[in-house]
Structure 1
Amino acid sequence: MVSAIKIEQLKTVGEHLDELSELLIQVVEDGASIGFLPPLKLSEAKKYWENVLNPEIILFVAKISNQIVGSVQVHLCTKQNGGHRADIAKLMTHPHYRRNGISKSLMQKAEERAKQEDRSLLVLDTREGDPSNHLYLSIGFIRAGRIPNYVKSTNGESQATIIYYKSLC
């Protein structure tokens, strides 16, 4: 199925708002730690997507049969001392399409774009124990550290996050 994945950049979310909102709801319901807790209301998901894009945020989506099944964001640092780096944010793959190389394809595209933007360092964080930790290590990210009690789970329990980086030089 990997060959059927198409990665494209969205400059606006308008015509994709419903699909992106459904993707966000599905991954949150499936337990992803991306800043939201279930149950996520459709209105909250739409509000998020309506306000996500700006000149410093690059949004890529993965499509299969013209349906959005994943996304990732590249946040370009605009600080004078940070123009060499970018953050990877909100990597999502619809639960029904996992284990098909979608996240890896999205990360490859994000890395390519970061290089085009003259970024030499990527950083990201993810909840400790999530399957994404394996992905990041497998594509060359290095674990920089662990922050305890960083996020709250649905049941109110505190969980740690792992910080990763990757040099693009």
Structure 2
Amino acid sequence: MPVDAIVIETLTPEAASNAIPALVEILRDSVANGASVGFMAWNTPEDYRGFWTGVIDEVGAGRTVLLIAKLAGEIVGTAQLHLIGKPNQPHRAEIAKVLVHSCARRQGLGEKLMLVAEEAARQAGRTLLVLDTDEAGAARRLYGRLGWTEIGTIPRFALMPDGRDCGSTFFYKTIG
């Protein structure tokens, strides 16, 4: 599918509430396919719903920008931009939970989500972005390709959904 068929949207709290079923499915699919994204194999759809409800609260408070990726009108990807609210870090934001459903991978959705997240950060006056990812995941290559600087891996930082140890690799990017 051509990259221009991908639509990226920023969700309001109301739109995000309406998208919860699709967001739950993306998160469920990511965990089922082994993504280390804060959940374990035993987590339930109700756990995922609770997570997204919390994200929506953060969107409503202006602390998080929630993006979705649509392909053929269906929500198949998501990313978050966490706007750091500490007085000594007004220039910084964190990109989190860049997730693409397994049925839509390798079509450029992750890249488009990242580029839109970077633009949202610029518009919010942020000039330094950070993120972390599973040390063995495919996203690591994507971030390098998009000009992010890898700063290192912390071993055993988290767990994989099956309980195995997972190192997390940290990246940063200065934007203007």
Q: Aligned residues: percent identity?
A: 37
- Consecutive unaligned residues in structure 2, runs of 5 or more: none
Mapped partners of 1:38, 1:142: distance in 2: 31
CA contact (8 A) 1:29 1:39 kept: no
Quote the residue 1:23 is aligned against.
26
Question: After superposition, where does 1:58-97 map in structure 2 within 5 Å?
Answer: 58-97=65-104
Mapped partners of 1:151, 1:85: distance in 2: 23
Quote the residue 1:119 is aligned against.
126
Give the letter aligned to residue 79 of structure 1.
Answer: K
What secondary structure does 2:137 align onto?
A: coil
Map Cα deviations across residues 7-46 of structure 1 (whole Å, 9 max, x no partner): 0011122211111111110111011111111143111111
What secondary structure does 1:162 align onto?
A: strand
Mapped partners of 1:105, 1:7: distance in 2: 7
Mapped partners of 1:167, 1:132: distance in 2: 19
Quote the residue 1:168 is aligned against.
175
Mapped partners of 1:136, 1:39: distance in 2: 29
Give the letter aligned to residue 102 of structure 2.
Answer: P
Give the letter aligned to residue 72 of structure 1.
Answer: A
Q: Moved runs in structure 1, 4+ residues, more than 3 A?
A: none
How far has the Cα of 1:65 moved from its partner? 1.8
**Given the alignment, which residue of 139, 152, 158 partners 2:159?**
152
Quote the residue 2:10 is aligned against.
9
Mapped partners of 1:129, 1:165: distance in 2: 18
Quote the residue 1:40 is aligned against.
43
Map Cα deviations across residues 137-168 of structure 1 (whole Å, 9 max, x no partner): 00000011211110112343222110000000
Mapped partners of 1:159, 1:45: distance in 2: 21
The number of residue pairs the alignment matches comes to 169
CA contact (8 A) 1:29 1:40 kept: no
Quote the residue 2:150 is aligned against.
143
- Consecutive unaligned residues in structure 1, runs of 5 or more: none
Mapped partners of 1:96, 1:35: distance in 2: 21
TM-score by length of 2: 0.93
What secondary structure does 1:129 align onto?
A: coil
How far has the Cα of 1:95 moved from its partner? 0.4
